[in-house]
Amino acid sequence: MGERRQLGGTALRTALRLVSSFLSAAALAISVLLAAGTPVSAAGPCAGSGSWFAGWYSGGAAPAHEPEGVKASLLYRDGDGCSAAVGGSKGRGAWVMIQGKNQATRYVQSGYWMFGNAFDCWHHFSEYNNGGGTVAKEGPCTNLNQVHVPLVKYIPNPARTELWIDSLRLDVMNSCVCAFARPLWVDYLGESQDTHSDVPGLSATKGEWSSMQIQYFTDNTWHGTCGTITLFKDVTLARYAADAPACNDTRSWTATP
Amino acid sequence: MKIRGLLVVLCLTSAGCIAAPGGSSLSADRVDPLLASENLGNSGVTLDPPGLLAPKVQAQGAFAVCTNGRAPCPPTSPTAARLAIATDAGPGTADANGKITLLMNKRLVWAISWSDIECRFRGGGLGDPSIPSVSASPVSCDTVAFVDAGTGEFLYEVTYERH
């Protein structure tokens, strides 16, 4: 009996030591996580899903200046996500896009994104929908506070639209954006898929699209946005903000994180 | 990225814990070579059987890209990891002269897939600017991450609608 009690006691002590070790390790890990920067957002718990934007878009252009391609030097910035962002439609990021006039489901875009779940990272992406369904390609993880060049360009022969980040071609849409509703629009936008998440950028560290260009439908070549298209501000949540230091330089950010 | 690594270390040092944080793991019974050619929806990706080609990196090693901060993976456990010869005429890198080298041109890869999951798309284009845009979301999607079976390098990941 004594031996059995001793064994039982040893087993109990061993179990307690294991539990104690685990709890200590967990406490250590939590303190390290807090010191390293927690993934839980200051933006709060998630609310309703949708799409909210901050930035600029062209609501049409003179026929000679109608865009079929778009690019910019995009400064990648951080943006908090809501604290239960584990699903598919809780992301945030920023991008450039060609879209059909007033058409939410005819578009071609590239930029950077974070879905927000535990296995995610800030990364380059491309996405399009030409009416045949949406296709998205997610590239490797990337660092923030760097400038990259997202680019959507039309190649006339054979007709296709290519989606790029810097020297990485992420995808090719084997059709022309000419079938979208006309005149085509371009967008330079930050986006969040939850009202409690932030579009990238803060007041002191704004997200920025500079050296903005469009590719003319008429000549397939690149032109600056100054004097060619009219850009309109699009801010769909009061916490977000956008401005335009120049006609080829726009910014967006979360004003009230 | 750093945080995920710390959690994995904690998980591995805790008795009986073999899953990554969030419970995502790749079961051995979901690892197979591809047996027949297939096109992945409308994504432009074609997979062919690997024949007798053998991977230098095993499936579990390839799946590590999801937990070590190299790839943006879905939060759930993969449906399958299939060894395949993959081709996609889209993704590639351009050199200084503009010459493009495709990322997957008959490349031996692990195609790690999540089938019939919530679609991971952006919000689409703007509609009426006064109304937040919500695209007509498809019911479900397939996501496939491609990892070089020789080096373990993450190439890219595709998501497309199920039809």
Q: How is chain A split into domains, by residue range?
A: 1-38, 49-254
Taking contacts as CB-CB distances below 8 angstroms, the residues of chain B near A51 are 122-124, 132-135
Q: Show the domains of chain B with their CATH numbers.
A: 44-91+103-118+138-163 (3.10.450)
- Tell me the per-residue pLDDT of A96-132, one tens digit each, with 9 for 90 and over: 999 999 998 999 999 999 988 778 899 999 999 999 8
Pairwise CB contact (< 8 Å): B6 & A106: no
Say which of A100, A115, A117 has its CB closest to residue B125.
A100
Segment B30-43 shows an average pLDDT of 95
Pairwise CB contact (< 8 Å): B133 & A193: no
**Helix, strand or coil for residue B27?**
coil
Q: Which residues does residue A129 pair with via DSSP β-bridges, in sequence order?
A: A107, A134
Pairwise CB contact (< 8 Å): A29 & B7: yes
Residue scoring higher pLDDT (A50 or B20) = A50
The chain B residue lying nearest A106, using CA atoms, is B125
Tell me which architecture the domain covering A49-254 has in CATH. Answer: Sandwich (2.60)
- Tell me the per-residue pLDDT of A172-230, one tens digit each, with 9 for 90 and over: 999 889 999 999 999 999 999 999 999 999 999 999 999 999 999 999 999 999 999 99
SS (H, E, C) chain A: CHHHHHHHHHHHHHHHHHHHHHHHHHHHHHHHHHHHCCCCCCCCCCCCEEEEEEEEEECCCCHHHCEEEEEEEEECCCCCCCCCCCCCCCCEEEEEEEECCCCCCCEEEEEEEECCCCCCCCEEEEEEECCCCEEEEEEEECCCCCEECEEEEEECCCCEEEEEECCEEEEEECCCHHHCCCCCEEEEEEEEEECCCCCCEECCEEEEEEEEEEEECCCCCEEECCCCCCEEEEECCCCEEEEEEECCEEEEEECCC
Residues 46-65 of B with CB under 8 A from A: none
Which pair of structure tokens corresponds to residue A170?
Answer: 């992420």
Segment B132-153 shows an average pLDDT of 81
Task: Please state the pTM of the whole predicted model.
Answer: 0.85
Q: Which residues does residue A207 pair with via DSSP β-bridges, in sequence order?
A: A252
